[in-house]
Amino acid sequence: MAQLICKSVSIAYEKENVVEDFSMEVEKGDYISVIGENGTGKSSLLKGILGIIPLKSGEVTFSDGVKRNNIGYLSQQNPMQKDFPASVGEVVLSGCLTRKGFLPFFSHRERERAIKNMDRLGILELEHKSFADLSGGQQQRVLLARALCATDKIIFLDEPITGLDPIASKDFYALIEKLNKELGITIIMITHDVENALKYSNKILHMHKYKYFFGNKAEYLIDGGCTEECMCEKHQKGGK
């Protein structure tokens, strides 16, 4: 059973479509890398699926236990967060917000959850440090811990390794793989790093302007890596 179904989704800014007639089904435990050039609507598609920007048409359905309020999201680096006064603990705990009841404070259970996730990502000793003082790699771990507080089913990542040094990005890939393999969390990640995308993921979504390939890595390697002009069957509108 699919966790996420997109049915002929279109997204537009002003009048121009950025995503047109896009469909896919995401199974539990998938590790999907979203690749493609700038301006093909990768981020817009993610935001559309998450409900951050409205869809022009089409439908996005979550099922198999995934609901709108237990989705993890790691957005592109936000320059405003660079000097934001917040401790690591405060940031991670804010991921538990949708689990909070009517009381204005977090309960013991939510704090435990935050601590467990910080521990899992090896940032527990940073709990009282300021988020702004951390290195890029550490900041991404904090944001990932926050996403894990929000969900244990599916995480969307928007270029998480952009700006990380090679060692930090290698660590980050290892972490994501661990979450995917050991905890069975579905991963959907936008990246420009095609090499690692092919190394780690089981499915590839390659976005061109209004044309999409979506399928297994093996299929992609055989006939997916065609150029933008290609109109082979795999590149027809809507992927499959």
* Shortest spacing between CB 183 and another protein, in angstroms: 19
DSSP state of 101: -
Region near another protein per CB under 8 A, out of 82-90, 165-173, 181-189, 195-203: 82-90
Contact between 227 and another protein by CB under 8 A: the answer reads no
Q: Which of 82, 86, 199, 232 binds another protein (CB under 8 A)?
A: 86
119-156: b (≥16 Cβ within 10 Å) or e: ebbebbebbeeebeebebbbbbbbbbbbbbbbbbbbbb
Pairing assessment for the beta strands 16-27 and 186-190 based on DSSP bridges: unpaired
* Helix segments in the chain, DSSP class H: 42-50, 88-93, 108-120, 136-150, 166-182, 194-200, 217-219
Q: Establish if 50 lies at the interface with another protein (CB under 8 A).
A: yes
> Can residue 101 be called a binding residue for another protein (CB under 8 A)?
no
Angle of CA points 37, 40, 46, to nearest 5°? 110
Tokens matching residue 183: 């905890």
| Residue 54 sits in the site that holds another protein (CB under 8 A) | no
Closer residue to another protein, CB minimum distance, 67 or 199: 67
Residue 65 binds another protein, judged by CB under 8 A: no
Q: Which of residues 165-224 bind another protein (CB under 8 A)?
A: none
- Nearer Cβ to another protein, position 146 or 206? 146
Maximal C-alpha separation, the chain: 56
**Residues of the shown chain interacting with another protein in the complex, contacts defined by CB under 8 A:** 47, 50-52, 67-69, 71, 73, 75, 78, 80-81, 84-87, 90-91, 94-95, 97-98, 100, 104-106, 128, 130, 132-133, 146-147, 150, 156
